[in-house]
Chain A
Amino acid sequence: QKEVEQNSGPLSVPEGAIASLNCTYSDRGSQSFFWYRQYSGKSPELIMSIYSNGDKEDGRFTAQLNKASQYVSLLIRDSQPSDSATYLCAPKETGANNLFFGTGTRLTVIP
């Protein structure tokens, strides 16, 4: 059974700090990983993708992947109140064009 584990939070960080969001997954064959941001009452929005071990940076966001440990993370630098949302980790299912999602980590950035 495919599982994605995320700390549900809430994770609270002060404005300007680094927020660290973590995710572990059970499907050892997963090769592609995606982070979605979901504001309350809204649909998820893709913010990052990562396919290779190591770090990938895009603006204030950095995704980190360690396939051997089945671990993926998202760092948000210089956190802003507008970053307050639920962040969903989504590995791609092996052999299919489907994503399976964690329950998400709720982030609150305190002004």
Chain B
Amino acid sequence: SQTIHQWPATLVQPVGSPLSLECTVEGTSNPNLYWYRQAAGRGLQLLFYSVGIGQISSEVPQNLSASRPQDRQFILSSKKLLLSDSGFYLCAWNQRGRGFDGYTFGSGTRLTVV
């Protein structure tokens, strides 16, 4: 069966520090991968999605970036965090090449920038 892993679960970082969040999917190949952010009291905002290694689409201009160095690995990064980057970061996946049937989220990373 397929599983998605995200780490760390929680993170407290000072303003101006770098960020690296990692997401991996097991039990499948060629997944579509997504990064969402959920700020307090707000909806889920799509940040990045990827249909393959090295292929990244950005939905929102910001100081975040994403990379996909391997087929089942998706990384969210920042060189310098802002207070506004605080939120609940969620990685999600679905199977490419099959009819779209929604996607599965990882357990999320709660980031607090102080």
Contacts and interface: CB of A to CB of B under 8 A. Distances in A.
Interface of A: 4, 32, 34, 42-46, 49, 88, 90, 92, 97-104
Interface stretch (B38-46, B62-70, B73-81): B38-46
A44 B32 contact: no
Interface of B: 32, 34, 36, 41-44, 46, 49, 51, 59, 90, 94, 96, 100-108
B102 A99 contact: yes
Q: Is the interface of A mostly helix, strand, loop or mixed?
A: loop
B43 A103 contact: yes
A98 B46 contact: yes
Contact of A49 (B101, B104, B107): B101
A105 to B, nearest CB: 11
Given A92-B100, A98-B34, A99-B103, A43 B90 contact: yes
Contacts of B32: 97
B44 A88 contact: yes
A40 to B, nearest CB: 11
Given A97-B32, A98-B49, A103-B41, 20 more contacts: A4-B43, A34-B102, A42-B107, A43-B108, A44-B105, A45-B105, A46-B104, A49-B101, A49-B102, A88-B44, A90-B102, A97-B51, A97-B96, A98-B34, A99-B46, A100-B46, A101-B36, A101-B44, A103-B42, A103-B43
